[in-house]
Chains A and B, each alone.
Chain A
Amino acid sequence: GAVVSQHPSRVICKSGTSVKIECRSLDFQATTMFWYRQFPKQSLMLMATSNEGSKATYEQGVEKDKFLINHASLTLSTLTVTSAHPEDSSFYICSAMEGRGYTEAFFGQGTRLTVV
Chain B
Amino acid sequence: GENVEQHPSTLSVQEGDSAVIKCTYSDSASNYFPWYKQELGKGPQLIIDIRSNVGEKKDQRIAVTLNKTAKHFSLHITETQPEDSAVYFCAALGYSSASKIIFGSGTRLSIRP
Contacts and interface: CB of A to CB of B under 8 A. Distances in A.
A107 B99 contact: no
Interface stretch (A12-20, A67-75, A80-88, A93-101): A93-101
B105 A43 contact: yes
Nearest to B32: A102
Contacts of A43: 89, 103-106
Interface in A1-59: 1, 4, 6, 32, 34, 41-44, 46, 49, 57
B99 A93 contact: no
B41 A104 contact: no
A93 B101 CA distance: 13
B101 A95 contact: yes
23 contacts: A1-B46, A6-B43, A34-B101, A42-B105, A42-B106, A43-B104, A43-B105, A44-B44, A46-B102, A49-B99, A57-B98, A93-B44, A102-B93, A102-B99, A104-B34, A105-B34, A105-B101, A106-B46, A107-B36, A107-B43, A108-B43, A109-B43, A112-B41
Given A105-B46, A110-B43, 17 more contacts: A1-B46, A6-B43, A32-B99, A34-B100, A42-B106, A43-B89, A44-B44, A46-B100, A49-B99, A93-B44, A95-B101, A100-B99, A104-B34, A104-B46, A106-B46, A107-B43, A107-B45
Interface of B: 31-32, 34, 36, 41-46, 49, 51, 89, 93, 95, 98-106, 108
Nearest to A105: B101
Interface residues of A, number: 27
Contacts of B31: 102
A104 B50 CA distance: 11
Given A43-B89, A110-B41, A110-B42, A97 B100 contact: no
User: Considering the complex of A and B, which 5 residue pairs feature the smallest CB-CB distances, nearest first?
Assistant: A101-B99, A107-B43, A110-B43, A109-B43, A43-B103
A101 B43 contact: no
